[in-house]
Amino acid sequence: DAGVIQSPRHEVTEMGQEVTLRCKPISGHNSLFWYRQTMMRGLELLIYFNNNVPIDDSGMPEDRFSAKMPNASFSTLKIQPSEPRDSAVYFCASTRTASGNTIYFGEGSWLTVV
């Protein structure tokens, strides 16, 4: 079975540009998560969806960040406008909601904003 698929794997962009990160969760999974990883702050949960509905976006750093899940097999995380401090690895993860179920991670999108 295919795992969580993220694109792009690597992106370098200029400050002020819009960045869109994409995620395809594992088929049959109904919860999807976006995490950000930096050296300074470690792994932070940005937002998570259950059955395509955003449940908790309290981790989204500011209005420049937005996330959508238009259907069960696709989600996007958008940064507009991007800033150098947004440089990080962004992970998407998914699971079938139930206590103790494993959450599976994609390989990450490595974003550099210059």
* Nearest to other proteins of 56, 83 (CB atom): 56
Q: Does 48 bind other proteins (CB under 8 A)?
A: yes
Q: Quote the least distance from Cβ 108 to other proteins, whole Å.
A: 5
Quick one: which of 33, 67, 88, 113 contacts other proteins (CB under 8 A)? 33
Q: Which residues pair with 47 in a beta bridge?
A: 34
- Reference 25, options 99, 90, 106, 79; nearest CA is 106
Mark out the alpha helices in the chain (DSSP H runs): none
**Residue 112: CB partners within 8 Å, gap ≥ 6?**
10, 11, 12, 13, 87
Q: Quote the least distance from Cβ 89 to other proteins, whole Å.
A: 9
Which residues of the shown chain bind other proteins in the complex (CB under 8 A)?
31, 33, 42-43, 45, 48-50, 55-56, 91, 93, 95, 97-108
